[in-house]
């Protein structure tokens, strides 16, 4: 249980820093995919959370 909590704490800290890479990834994908503004916002939010969880897991286990 403590591993999950520590991983989430690391991930919450990284949320702010992972927003920029998520925006850049969506800007890269935008010409290839026909995305509406709502679709871009959902993709940015999802990527931000996924990237921050990946960094949190990396910080916890490596």
pLDDT digits (tens, 9 = 90+) for 6-57: 999 999 999 999 999 999 999 999 999 999 999 999 999 999 999 999 999 9
Please work out, in degrees rounded to the nearest 5, the angle formed at the alpha carbon of residue 23 by the alpha carbons of 7 and 21: 50
Does residue 10 contact residue 56 with C-beta atoms inside 8 Å?
A: yes
pLDDT surpassing 90 at residue 62: no
Cα distance between residue 15 and residue 3, in whole Å: 18
Q: What is the pTM of this model?
A: 0.89
């Amino acid at each position: 249980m403590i591993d999950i909590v520590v991983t989430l704490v690391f991930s919450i800290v990284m949320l702010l820093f992972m927003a920029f890479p998520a925006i850049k990834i969506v800007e890269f994908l935008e010409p290839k995919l026909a995305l509406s503004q709502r679709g871009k916002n959902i993709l940015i939010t999802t990527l931000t959370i996924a990237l921050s969880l990946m960094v949190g897991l990396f910080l916890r286990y490596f």
